[in-house]
Structure 1
Amino acid sequence: MRHKFLLSIALLPLFSIAQKTQNFKYIRPLIGTERMGHTFPGATVPFGSVQLSPDTDTISYELDGKYNGKVYEYCAGYQYEDKTITGFSHTHFSGTGHSDLGDFLIMPTTGELFLNPGTATNHAKGYRSAYSHKNEIAEANYYKVKLDDYNITAELTTSQRVGFHQYTFPKSEKSHVILDLMAGIYNHNEKNVWTFVRVENDTLITGYRQTQGWGRTRTVYFAMSVSKPFKSYGFQNNDDKNIYKGFWRKFDQSKNFPEMAGRKLKMYLDFDTNENEKVKIKFALSPVSTSGALENMKAEIPHWDFEKTKNEGQMLWEKELQKIEVETISEEDKINFYTSMYHAFINPTVYMDVDGSYKGLDQNVHKADGFTNYTTFSLWDTYRALHPLFNVIQPKRNADMIKSMLAHYDQSVHKALPVWSHYANENWCMIGYHAVSLIADAVAKNNADFDTNKALEAMISSSNLDYYDGLEYYKKLGYVPEDKNGASVSKTLEYAYDDWCIAQMAKKFGRNDIYETYSKRAENYKNVFDSTVGFMRPKLSDGSFKKEFDPMDTHGQGFIEGNAWNYSLYVPHNPESLIELNGGKEKFSKHLDELFSMNLPDKYFANTEDITRDGIIGNYVHGNEPSHHVAYLYNWTNQPWKTQEKVRMIIKRMYHSGPDGLGGNDDTGQMSAWYIFTSLGFYPVAPGSPDYALGSPLVKKATLRFENGKLLEIDAKNQSDKNVYVKKIELNGKEISKFITHEQLMNGGKLTFYMDKKPSK
Structure 2
Amino acid sequence: MAIPTQTQIDARHPSLQDVDPFIGTAATGLPPARGLAATWWFPKPQVGNTHPGATSPFGMVSACAYSGAYPTGYGRYGKNTQGVPETIFPRLEASGFTHFQQSGTGMIRKYYNYVRVTPMVQPLDDLGQSWALGDETAHPGYYAASLDTGIRCEITVGEKVAVHRYTFPESRSARAVVDLTCGGLAIDRSRTVPLRAQVEITGKGQAQGTVVVEGVPLSFYLEVDSPGWRQMLWHDRRLIDGGTRLDFDSIRHTTLRAFGLVFIGPATAGQSIELRIGFSLRGQEQAQENLRRECGSGQPAFDRVQVNTGERWARHLEQIQVEGGTQARRTVFGSALYHSLIKPCIADDESPFWPYGGPFAFDICTMWDIYKTQLPLLQAIAPKRAVDIMESLIRVCEEEGNFPIGYRMARGADRFSRQGSALAHTALADIHALGIGDLDWQWALVHMDDDLRRQYGEDFLDKGVVHPITHTLDLAFAHHCTARIAHALGDDDLSRSLFEYSENWVNAFEEDTGLLRESTFYEGGKWNYSFRLMQDMAARIKLAGGDAAFVAMLDSFFGFGAPPVRQPGRAASLQEMADGYALNRFEGLNNEPDMEAPWAYHWAGRPDRTAQVVHSALTWQFGTGPGGLPGNDDSGGLSAWYVWASLGLFPVAGQNLFLIHPPAFSRSVMQFSQGELTIETTGHIEQKISSDGIDEEPPVQYVQSATLDGKALDGPHIPASRLHRGGRLHLQLGSSPTSWGQSVRPPSLSH
Same fold, judged at TM 0.5 (above): yes
Residues 288 and 365, structure 1, Cα contact 8 Å, conserved in 2? no
Q: Which residue of 2 aligns with 1:122?
A: none
Question: 201, 211, 214: which is aligned to 1:199?
Answer: 201
User: Per-residue deviation at 1:577?
Assistant: 2.0
Q: Which residue of 1 aligns with 2:170?
A: 171
The SS at the match of 1:154 is strand
Q: Which residue of 2 aligns with 1:553?
A: none
Using the alignment, how far apart are the partners of 2:309 and 2:520 within structure 1? 46
Residues 537 and 558, structure 1, Cα contact 8 Å, conserved in 2? no
Q: Which residue of 2 aligns with 1:185?
A: 184
Using the alignment, how far apart are the partners of 1:81 and 1:628 within structure 2? 34
User: What are the Cα deviations for residues 442-462 of structure 1, in whole angstroms up to 9, with x where unaligned?
Assistant: 011222521011111110011
Using the alignment, how far apart are the partners of 1:499 and 1:611 within structure 2? 35
**Cα pair distance change 1:137/1:203, threshold 3 Å:** same
User: What are the Cα deviations for residues 247-285 of structure 1, in whole angstroms up to 9, with x where unaligned?
Assistant: xxxxx8744422224443333332211111001110111
Q: Which has the higher contact order (CA 8 A, sep 6+)?
A: 2
1:282 has 2:237 as partner: no
Using the alignment, how far apart are the partners of 2:338 and 2:586 within structure 1? 29
1:473 has 2:465 as partner: no
Q: Which residue of 1 aligns with 2:727?
A: 749
User: Per-residue deviation at 1:607?
Assistant: 5.1
**Cα pair distance change 1:82/1:445, threshold 3 Å:** farther
Q: Which residue of 1 aligns with 2:285?
A: 291
Structure 1 range deviating more: 491-500 or 453-462: 491-500
Using the alignment, how far apart are the partners of 2:213 and 2:716 within structure 1? 50
Residues 527 and 585, structure 2, Cα contact 8 Å, conserved in 1? no
Using the alignment, how far apart are the partners of 1:387 and 1:744 within structure 2? 18
Identity %: 24
**Cα pair distance change 1:144/1:391, threshold 3 Å:** same
How is 1:298-317 mapped onto 2 (pairs within 5 angstroms)? Answer: 298-302=292-296, 303-317=299-313
User: Per-residue deviation at 1:84?
Assistant: 1.1
User: Per-residue deviation at 1:660?
Assistant: 1.6
Using the alignment, how far apart are the partners of 1:374 and 1:259 within structure 2? 32
User: Per-residue deviation at 1:600?
Assistant: 6.6
The SS at the match of 1:421 is coil
User: Per-residue deviation at 1:320?
Assistant: 0.9
Q: Which residue of 2 aligns with 1:337?
A: 333
Using the alignment, how far apart are the partners of 2:618 and 2:650 within structure 1? 13
Structure 1 range deviating more: 137-146 or 297-306: 297-306
Q: Which residue of 2 aligns with 1:373?
A: 360
AA aligned opposite 1:284:
G
User: Per-residue deviation at 1:181?
Assistant: 2.3
Residues 201 and 208, structure 2, Cα contact 8 Å, conserved in 1? yes
**Cα pair distance change 1:16/1:82, threshold 3 Å:** closer
User: What are the Cα deviations for residues 420-473 of structure 1, in whole angstroms up to 9, with x where unaligned?
Assistant: 1122635341321111111111011222521011111110011112xx2x3222
Using the alignment, how far apart are the partners of 1:59 and 1:660 within structure 2? 16
**Cα pair distance change 1:663/1:405, threshold 3 Å:** same
User: What are the Cα deviations for residues 335-366 of structure 1, in whole angstroms up to 9, with x where unaligned?
Assistant: 112211111111121224xxx34312xxx433
User: Per-residue deviation at 1:612?
Assistant: 12
Residues 233 and 240, structure 2, Cα contact 8 Å, conserved in 1? yes
Q: Which residue of 2 aligns with 1:639?
A: 606
How is 1:242-261 mapped onto 2 (pairs within 5 angstroms)? Answer: 254-261=240-247
Using the alignment, how far apart are the partners of 2:575 and 2:487 within structure 1? 42
**Cα pair distance change 1:256/1:177, threshold 3 Å:** farther
**Cα pair distance change 1:382/1:602, threshold 3 Å:** closer
1:359 has 2:352 as partner: yes
**Cα pair distance change 1:458/1:394, threshold 3 Å:** same
Using the alignment, how far apart are the partners of 1:517 and 1:81 within structure 2? 60
**Cα pair distance change 1:585/1:710, threshold 3 Å:** same
User: What are the Cα deviations for residues 623-648 of structure 1, in whole angstroms up to 9, with x where unaligned?
Assistant: 22221110011111132101111111
Q: TM-score, normalised by structure 2?
A: 0.83
Residues 115 and 266, structure 1, Cα contact 8 Å, conserved in 2? no
User: Per-residue deviation at 1:49?
Assistant: 1.0
Using the alignment, how far apart are the partners of 2:701 and 2:515 within structure 1? 31
Q: Which residue of 2 aligns with 1:543?
A: none
User: Per-residue deviation at 1:33?
Assistant: 1.0
Q: Which residue of 1 aligns with 2:137?
A: 137
The SS at the match of 1:299 is helix
Residues 52 and 89, structure 1, Cα contact 8 Å, conserved in 2? yes
User: Per-residue deviation at 1:297?
Assistant: 0.4
1:719 has 2:685 as partner: yes
The SS at the match of 1:191 is coil
Question: 430, 449, 462: which is aligned to 1:460?
Answer: 449
Using the alignment, how far apart are the partners of 1:223 and 1:143 within structure 2? 22
1:432 has 2:418 as partner: no
Question: 513, 526, 530: which is aligned to 2:510?
Answer: 530
Question: 263, 266, 280: which is aligned to 2:259?
Answer: 266
CA RMSD, 1 decimal: 3.2
Using the alignment, how far apart are the partners of 1:714 and 1:285 within structure 2? 45
AA aligned opposite 1:347:
K
User: Per-residue deviation at 1:601?
Assistant: 7.8
Residues 645 and 696, structure 1, Cα contact 8 Å, conserved in 2? no
Q: Which residue of 1 aligns with 2:712?
A: 735
User: What are the Cα deviations for residues 634-667 of structure 1, in whole angstroms up to 9, with x where unaligned?
Assistant: 1111321011111111122221121121222212
User: Per-residue deviation at 1:299?
Assistant: 0.9
Question: 481, 485, 488: which is aligned to 1:501?
Answer: 481
Structure 1 range deviating more: 449-458 or 750-759: 750-759
Using the alignment, how far apart are the partners of 2:126 and 2:580 within structure 1? 39
Q: Which residue of 2 aligns with 1:403?
A: 391
Q: Which residue of 1 aligns with 2:640?
A: 673
User: Per-residue deviation at 1:678?
Assistant: 1.2
**Cα pair distance change 1:610/1:203, threshold 3 Å:** farther
Residues 561 and 610, structure 1, Cα contact 8 Å, conserved in 2? no
AA aligned opposite 1:311:
V
Q: Which residue of 2 aligns with 1:211?
A: 213
Residues 340 and 676, structure 1, Cα contact 8 Å, conserved in 2? yes
Structure 1 range deviating more: 294-303 or 523-532: 523-532
Q: Which residue of 1 aligns with 2:116?
A: 105
Question: 611, 619, 641: which is aligned to 1:652?
Answer: 619
**Cα pair distance change 1:19/1:330, threshold 3 Å:** closer
AA aligned opposite 2:266:
D
Using the alignment, how far apart are the partners of 2:591 and 2:55 within structure 1? 26
Residues 419 and 433, structure 1, Cα contact 8 Å, conserved in 2? yes
Residues 702 and 715, structure 1, Cα contact 8 Å, conserved in 2? no
1:690 has 2:628 as partner: no
**Cα pair distance change 1:717/1:752, threshold 3 Å:** farther
**Cα pair distance change 1:329/1:232, threshold 3 Å:** closer
Question: 22, 25, 28: which is aligned to 1:30?
Answer: 22
Residues 43 and 51, structure 1, Cα contact 8 Å, conserved in 2? yes
In the alignment, structure 2 segments of 5+ residues that lack a partner are: 28-46, 72-76, 688-698, 740-751
Q: Which residue of 1 aligns with 2:33?
A: none
Q: Which residue of 2 aligns with 1:84?
A: 93
Using the alignment, how far apart are the partners of 1:726 and 1:282 within structure 2? 53
How is 1:414-425 mapped onto 2 (pairs within 5 angstroms)? Answer: 414=401, 416-423=402-409, 425=411
User: Per-residue deviation at 1:129?
Assistant: 0.7
**Cα pair distance change 1:189/1:142, threshold 3 Å:** closer
In the alignment, structure 1 segments of 5+ residues that lack a partner are: 61-67, 118-125, 239-251, 482-487, 539-556
Question: 307, 319, 323: which is aligned to 1:323?
Answer: 319
